[in-house]
C-alpha cells in the first residue's frame, strides 16, 4: 500500500483556492452586515446589494485575504501537526484551526487598530462567527483537497485476497 501525497504545486494551488473562498466569504458577509445595518434607514434594493457586493469583493476582498492568510499562517501548521497524530480528525482540525485562527487575528487586529473595530460585522458574536465560518470552510476544504490517498497495488490486493481479508 502506498501513501500518495499531493505535490507541492497542487498544495499551493489548493491553498490559494481555499484562501480565496474564505476571503470572498468574509468580504461578502461583511458587506451584507453593513447593508443590513442601513436597511432601517434607507431602502437597499437587490441590485444595490449585488453591486456593492461586487465592489467590496474587489475593494475589500484583498484586505480580507491578507487577514485570512495571516490567521492561517500559524493555524494550519498546528492543524497539520495535530492531524498527523489523529488522521481521522484531520479535516475537522483544519476547519477548527482556520476558524479559530481568524477569530484570533480579528481580535488582535481590533486591539491594535485605531478605530474600535476594523470590520464592523465582527462587532457582535453573530457577525464574528459568520465570518469565521467562511475561514473554517476554507480550512476544511484545503484539508479535504490535500488529504493523502491510499492506493493498493495489484500485489497488495492479491495478498489481501489470499489472506482472506
Residue 4: which pLDDT band, with cuts at 50, 70 and 90? low
Give the pLDDT score at 151. 59
Report how far apart, in Å, the C-alpha atoms of 28 and of each of 24, 119, 147 are: 6, 12, 28
Q: Give the other-Cβ count within 10 Å of 114's Cβ.
A: 5
Q: Is the per-residue pLDDT at 165 higher than 60? A: no
pTM of the complete model: 0.82
Report how far apart, in Å, the C-alpha atoms of 64 and of each of 23, 30, 71, 92, 165 are: 5, 10, 10, 23, 50
pLDDT digits (tens, 9 = 90+) for 10-44: 889 999 999 999 999 999 999 999 999 999 999 99
C-alpha cell at 32: 451584507
Q: How high does pLDDT run on average in the chain?
A: 89
C-alpha cell at 108: 488582535
| Mean pLDDT score, 58-83 | 96
Give the pLDDT score at 116. 79
pLDDT digits (tens, 9 = 90+) for 106-154: 999 999 988 878 888 898 999 999 999 999 999 999 999 998 876 555 5
> 93 vs 121, which has greater pLDDT?
93
Amino acid at each position: 500500500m502506498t501513501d500518495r501525497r499531493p505535490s507541492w504545486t497542487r498544495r499551493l494551488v489548493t491553498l490559494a483556492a481555499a484562501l480565496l473562498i474564505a476571503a470572498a466569504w468574509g468580504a461578502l458577509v461583511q458587506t451584507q452586515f453593513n447593508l443590513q445595518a442601513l436597511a432601517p434607514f434607507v431602502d437597499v434594493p437587490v441590485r444595490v446589494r449585488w453591486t456593492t457586493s461586487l465592489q467590496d469583493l474587489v475593494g475589500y476582498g484583498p484586505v480580507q485575504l491578507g487577514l485570512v492568510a495571516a490567521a492561517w499562517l500559524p493555524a494550519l501548521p498546528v492543524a497539520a501537526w495535530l492531524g498527523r497524530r489523529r488522521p481521522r480528525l484531520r479535516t475537522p482540525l483544519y476547519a477548527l484551526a482556520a476558524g479559530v485562527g481568524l477569530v484570533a487575528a480579528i481580535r488582535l487586529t481590533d486591539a491594535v487598530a485605531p478605530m474600535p473595530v476594523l470590520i464592523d460585522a465582527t462587532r457582535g458574536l453573530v457577525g464574528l462567527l459568520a465570518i469565521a465560518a467562511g475561514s473554517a470552510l476554507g480550512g476544511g476544504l484545503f484539508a479535504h483537497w490535500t488529504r493523502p490517498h491510499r492506493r493498493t497495488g495489484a500485489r497488495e490486493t492479491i495478498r489481501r485476497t489470499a489472506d482472506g481479508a
